[in-house]
Amino acid sequence: MTIARTFFASIVVAATLCAPAAHASTFAAWEVANVDWDDVLNVRAWPSSNSAIRAGYPNGTPLSMTGRCMNGVDLKDITTLPNDVQAQMVRYTWCEVWHDPSNTGDWQTGWVYGRYIRPQ
């Protein structure tokens, strides 16, 4: 019984540590920007300002982006462009993030509006 319990615990720990890696296309090359000093960037369930808020992050918070944005923008395709050009390309669209709002290993996707993010 002890061996089985130890094995199970090892599997749970490995799965928890690998959770972000399961989404292999994520990268943390963007951050929250342009949010008022007393506000946060809302991460929403869907790409809409009417969608449920899942988390909020202040300016400077690094974001793990999936690369996928609305309107045909793929962050991985524009990484070689200057930062100001990248920021302009997402300014009026929604981009998907991979985040852990409760800091418990419960990683999930959400959406942020491009006006409030910039490349690091």
| CATH code for position 44 | 2.30.30.40
Looking at residue 12, its pLDDT comes to 33
Inside any domain, residue 88:
yes
Inside any domain, residue 10:
no
Domain that holds residue 54: 24-119
Give the global pTM.
0.77
Inside any domain, residue 78:
yes
Q: Flag whether pLDDT at 58 surpasses 60.
A: yes
Q: Flag whether pLDDT at 109 surpasses 50.
A: yes
Q: What is the mean pLDDT of the segment spanning 55-73?
A: 95
Inside any domain, residue 19:
no
Q: What is the mean pLDDT of the segment spanning 42-62?
A: 97
Looking at residue 25, its pLDDT comes to 59
Q: Are strands 27-32 and 94-99 parallel, antiparallel or unpaired?
A: unpaired
Q: Flag whether pLDDT at 30 surpasses 80.
A: yes
Structural domains in the chain (count): 1
| Whether the Cβ atoms of residue 31 and residue 62 lie closer than 8 Å to each other | yes
> Which contacts of 21-27 are long-range, i.e. CB under 8 A and separated by 24 or more positions?
22/107, 23/66, 23/98, 23/107, 25/66, 25/67, 25/76, 26/64, 26/65, 26/66, 26/67, 26/98, 27/64, 27/65, 27/67, 27/75, 27/76
